[in-house]
Amino acid sequence: MNSNVYTSNHPLIKHSLTILRNIDTDPQTFRNNIKIISTLLTFEATKKINTKETEVNTPMGSTTGNTLSENITLVPVLRAGLGMVEGILDLIPQSSVWHIGLKRDETTLKPIQYYTNQPEKTDDQTCIILDPMLATGGTAVEACNLIKSWGIESIKYVGILAAPEGIECLNNEHPTVDIYVGEIDSHLNDIGFIVPGLGDAGDRQFGT
């Protein structure tokens, strides 16, 4: 495995992943477990973000603590990435949220951009792309291309599941982007879905 690819053996993630895979899981339960996994993976993805020392007064006196010195931006890829935002905002409430609309052409499996709203200020941002499924890798690559065109180089990818093909594609195009996923599955099938996977993450979140 590449040194910039991280999977988790945490039992809570494995438990939630099993619930997500189950074809009988209802949308509300599905969304809740997407939230759980996203939060836990982001906890890992932010282990090395920068902090600065600061003085703080406690009820018993003063001491030195640490606060975040990086500006964190969450970039959910519409629509499946939306379900990953809430739990991470609970973890990093000061984060900005930018949205990128990308969908896959089901014939060519290539990404099609249908929405973006370029932020006015992009200085000193660390962007975390949120997309549950790293399948062919085309959407993740296009998201990275767009964010880098805004002048941002510090990018991480957080997803729920990945296929080896998607990891290879993203690594080839953007080798400096760290990838955090719950698990790496076997392969893609002939219609570009992850096997064994969990189906369409957007449809299953929103009951469509």
Tens digit of each residue's pLDDT, the chain (208 residues): 577 999 999 999 999 999 999 999 999 999 999 999 999 999 999 998 999 999 999 999 999 999 998 899 999 998 889 999 999 999 999 999 999 987 777 777 677 887 887 777 777 789 999 999 999 999 999 999 999 998 898 999 999 999 999 999 999 999 999 999 999 999 999 988 999 999 999 999 998 8
| DSSP secondary structure, 47-83, as one string | TT--EEEEEEEETTEEEEEEEE-SEEEEEEEETGGGG
Global pTM reads: 0.91
> Which residue has 């510090």 as its token pair?
154
**Rounded distance between C-alpha atoms, residue 207 and residue 104, angstroms:** 19
**Rounded distance between C-alpha atoms, residue 155 and residue 119, angstroms:** 16
Catalytic residue numbers read: 104, 108, 200, 203
> Which residue has 């379900």 as its token pair?
83
Cβ atoms of residues 161 and 182 within 8 Å: yes
Burial of 180-207, coded b for 16+ CB within 10 Å and e otherwise, reads bbbbbbeebeeebbbeebbbebbebbee
